[in-house]
Amino acid sequence: MVVLRGPYDSFPDPASAPGGEPVAIGGELSVSRLLTAYRIGIFPWTSRPVTWWSPDPRGILELDGFHVARSLQRVLRQAPFEVTFNRAFASVIAACAERRANRPTTWISSEFIRGYTQLHEAGHAHSVECWQGGKLVGGVYGVQVGGLFAGESMFHRVSNASKVALYHLVQRLRERGFVLFDLQQVNTTTVALGAIEIPRQQYLRRLRAAVELDCRFP
């Protein structure tokens, strides 16, 4: 595992790194460091110190494979939420970082919030928000590099709000010509929505093509 001691230290090649442990440790969550990492298939997961990962297999959501269950179809027809893009990035990431009864700890530290907010201000991180009665009740945020969108986290305060936000995110990515939606790792919620795992080598091949595209999220 590589130790990053200064701002100009390089990441190792993720293609040959172990898939179940960090590929690097240390460094800062600057805009340039984060963009370099995502461009080559690496992302940060913990802080103090920062650990950098490139898991094998890799979780993705094929943009034409999003599964809309009947219950979600009913919610979408009822349209109980106002859906917006990039209206409240700071509020979305703060909500994703909140500790809850079923999640007493969070990996989204103050360093992560600061780093990804700077990415958003630089035009490389985006959010989708669901509102109800003027209140933010769900959302999702992630990072864009070319035709890649890396989903980072989502939250809900009202049932189905995060799923509706994710649905609208997928529609936006399809409309704007994105080709790779990275979930990093899958869980029971994302698998139910169509998430799959692919070998890291396949992910890296697709990533190299994706980051060369000129896609616009806003």
Helix or strand holding residue 119 (H, E): helix 110-121
Q: Where are the domains of the chain?
A: 2-55, 60-210
**The whole model's pTM is what?**
0.95
- Reading the block at residue 109, the tokens are 């530290």
Enter the CATH code of domain 2-55.
Answer: 3.30.70.3550
Task: Walk along the chain (218 residues) and give the pLDDT tens digit of each residue.
Answer: 899 988 889 999 999 998 889 999 999 999 999 999 999 999 999 888 999 999 999 999 999 999 999 999 999 999 999 999 999 999 999 999 998 766 556 789 999 999 999 999 999 999 999 999 999 999 999 999 999 999 999 999 999 999 999 999 999 999 999 999 999 999 999 999 999 999 999 999 999 999 999 999 98
Q: Judge contact between 59 and 186, C-beta under 8 A.
A: yes
Q: Does domain 60-210 have CATH number 3.40.630.70?
A: yes
